[in-house]
Structure 1
Amino acid sequence: MARGDEEFVEFAEASSARLQRAAYLLTGDPHQAEEAAQATLVRVYAAWGRIRHGDPYAYARTALANLVHDQWRRPMREYATEVMPEQQAPRDVADDVTRRRWLISALRRLSPQERTVIVLRHLFDASETDVARDLNLPLGTVKSLNSRALAKLRTSHLDMELGARR
């Protein structure tokens, strides 16, 4: 292995699941999320020599957000194949599925910037300052995007609860 590869492998194993969950929340599609998380790790590996002693996870968050934003601007093309991939049997967890569907539906109602701020801020527990730095936005913009997005999510949550009671 090259110098630092073992450290990168440890980093990738420790953070890949969290990056994939964040990518899923950003894209709403499990396949795109897996590809985005893998592409993020490729970008992190390419920069590993200069970021490994700093905060590689912050770099990965920024790379993931930028990658997903690029995909929104330039949608990825998919090509049909003859062979269908194997699918796992679905688990019987109706409540989890309902909550996930609600969350993805609610996140889709947000603008791409709002969604990115929510995921970075609340899934990654990044501070508003870190999110502003990662997205190259003014701190006030991050605060207002976060506030607006949370208000929209609260409204969606109330709508879901009222619909469940009927």
Structure 2
Amino acid sequence: MRERQASRNARRAREFEAFVAGAAGRLLHAATLLTAEPPDDNPRARRLLTASLAHTYAVWDRLHGEDPYDRTRQYLAVRFARGAWHQYGGLGRPYPRGRPDSALRHLTPQERLILVLRMYEGVAEEQAAALLGLPTERVRAICARAMATLLHPPRQAAPPVAKVVPS
């Protein structure tokens, strides 16, 4: 009995390790896009990925043919949305910090989430809407607005002009 359990646990660990070896890089990139952090300095994205992978490992035996990548991506998206909601008071406000040279920093967390799901991950509008609890039309509109913002980012404020005092 114990040998069977040990064998099952070893097989589970090997399967999960193989999954992580194949999927962690892409999932980390998605998390980095969500958090708008630099790829070489992304602690929030790494925490988000670690929590998502830990959740997937916890439910590994209950997946029963379900795609573990899809499950991990869903949890990553939901955890990001919850974090933005709790930390910044909603998905509609931009994060206070972000990569200064990133066009994604101009997007709200909700716009970033939908854009990453739709454009980077290739999730259908209907699936993204179901995951986020939004109407499909709303997901379409948010994605279009996010794309427009990426293509035409807001201009930065002009530097203040110094007053010249006549002598």
Q: Hey, what's the Cα distance between the residues in 2 that align with 1:151 and 1:139?
A: 18
Partner of 2:152: 155
Q: Hey, what's the Cα distance between the residues in 1 that align with 2:29 and 2:128?
A: 18
Shift of 1:5: 2.7
Q: Hey, what's the Cα distance between the residues in 2 that align with 1:117 and 1:31?
A: 21
Shift of 1:73: 2.9
Gaps of 5+ in 1: 76-99, 161-166
Partner of 1:95: none
Matched to 2:34, the amino acid is L
Partner of 1:19: 27
Partner of 1:51: 63
Gaps of 5+ in 2: 1-6, 88-98, 157-167
Q: Hey, what's the Cα distance between the residues in 2 that align with 1:52 and 1:122?
A: 28
Partner of 2:44: 32
Out of 97, 111, 134, the position equivalent to 2:108 is 111
Q: Which is helix-richer, 1 or 2? A: 1
Q: 1:16 to 1:52 in 2, by over 3 A?
A: farther
How many aligned residue pairs are there?
133
Shift of 1:109: 1.5
SS state at 1:53 partner: coil
**Structure 1: 4+ residue segments shifted above 4 A:** none
* Farther-moved stretch of structure 1 (129-138 vs 143-152): 129-138
Q: Percent identity?
A: 35
Structure having greater relative contact order (Cα 8 Å, sep ≥ 6): 1
- Aligned residues of 1:107 and 1:115 also touching (Cα < 8 A): yes
SS state at 2:141 partner: helix
Q: Hey, what's the Cα distance between the residues in 2 that align with 1:60 and 1:11?
A: 11
Q: TM-score, normalised by structure 2?
A: 0.71
* Farther-moved stretch of structure 1 (114-123 vs 46-55): 46-55
Matches within 5 A, 1:95-134: 102=101, 104=102, 106-134=103-131
Task: Write out per-residue CA displacement over residues 61-85 of structure 1, whole angstroms, 9 at most, x where no aligned residue.
Answer: 111111112222334xxxxxxxxxx
Q: TM-score, normalised by structure 1?
A: 0.71
Shift of 1:133: 2.5
Q: Hey, what's the Cα distance between the residues in 2 that align with 1:47 and 1:19?
A: 18
Matches within 5 A, 1:69-108: 69-75=81-87, 102=101, 104=102, 106-108=103-105
Shift of 1:49: 1.6
Matched to 1:70, the amino acid is R
